[in-house]
Amino acid sequence: MTSSLADALQAFHRLPLLDGHTPIQRLERVERALGAAGHAVRIFAKRDDHMALGGGGNKLRKLEFHLGAALADKVDTIITVGGLQSNHARLTAAASAKHGLACELFLTKVVPRTDAEYERNGNIVLDRLFGARIHILPGNANAVDAAMARADELRALGRKVLVIPTGGSTSPGGLGYARCAGEIAEQETALGLVFRQVVVPNGSSGTHAGLAAGFAMLGRGAALVRSYSVLADLEPTLQTTLRLTRETLTLLGHKHLPEAGDIDIDPTQRGVGYGIPTDEMIAAVRLLAQQEGLLIDPVYSGKAFAGLLADIRHGKYAAGDNVLFVMTGGTPGLYAYRSVFDSVG
């Protein structure tokens, strides 16, 4: 990590939730499986699923800064919001349990499913195991309003509460992936290579924005990062990602802010909606599992990996290019999609 980025990050409270750098590994069997369609592109995975706490995943990097600030401010209760199978909610519950904080989750039924496999399996099982108090809301409910009202109730009882927005995707949360950009740069040096592109899924936009901010500070440019939108349409995703990137850079004291053209988002893998499977996602999850023994989730990384494979097959990258795919975790979600994978292949 260069001194400017590292020094800027030192100004913020951070609660360590990771066990050091997450590893980077080459996906050589996936490369071979792509054959001539691979065009000799070298594919690497940044294993942000490879974390001990709570089953791991990208949200822990954001929570390091949210909870660091919360503990410094003597907060005793964390409230956050998300979908019923939210990975962020699971990891917020786990990190809260680890550090003795009460945790409440406001979860909305944003995916049009009411079957027991989805509503009683996967992440929500773990939310309860970690001791979180869960509030289930209909899909059209405003979870943030409900969370803020609950926070007011608790404050009236003398509690000190922090409400974290969806996905932890704020400028303080963005610091986690700005820090990850520095970590990746250090690993590039150790591995003796340079990544042509860093690829991520884009839901609430914080992971893309944090990485874009970090690489901008490192002089590599925000456009080094490419994401595949899985939650919203292209224009709102672009605007949210640009805003969060700029806010994170401003928080870090960086004066040269990116423009919309610096934010690279591909909308082609979302399918008909958030959390709804696509054939391409199913094939991508199966390919990585069967060639490398690695698991990616069906909502975020599965669709993003499908997008990366499509880009490689369509010749987006040149022979010898190194491309880094950030595995963002979320594998408990696979259990809520069991029948999707039972029905194919």
* Local confidence band at 168 (pLDDT 50, 70, 90 cut-offs): very high
- pLDDT for 66-76, tens place per residue? 999 999 999 99
CA-to-CA distance for 316 and 27, rounded, in angstroms?
18
Task: Give the pLDDT of residue 174.
Answer: 97
Q: Which of 327, 274, 328, 336 is nearest to 124 (CA)?
A: 336
Task: Give the pLDDT of residue 339.
Answer: 92
Please, what are the domains in the chain?
3-57+170-342 (3.40.50.1100), 59-168 (3.40.50.1100)
Q: Which of 98, 251, 66 is nearest to 166 (CA)?
A: 66
Element (H, E) at 327: strand 322-327
- pLDDT for 112-147, tens place per residue? 999 999 999 999 999 999 999 999 999 999 999 999
Task: Summarize the confidence of residues 282-303 as an average pLDDT.
Answer: 98
- The full length of the chain comes to 345
Q: Where are the alpha helices (DSSP H) in 36-84?
A: 59-72
At residue 135, what is the residue type? Answer: H
Q: Where are the alpha helices (DSSP H) in 99-142?
A: 116-119, 123-129
Q: Within 13 Å and on the Cβ side, how many CA atoms surround 97?
A: 16
* Local confidence band at 39 (pLDDT 50, 70, 90 cut-offs): confident
Element (H, E) at 182: helix 171-191
Q: Tell me which residues are annotated as active site.
A: 86
Angle between helices 279-292 and 301-313 (to 10 degrees): 90
- pLDDT for 327-342, tens place per residue? 999 999 999 999 999 8
Q: Residue 229 in contact with residue 190, Cβ under 8 Å?
A: no
Task: Summarize the confidence of residues 288-309 as an average pLDDT.
Answer: 98
pTM as predicted: 0.96
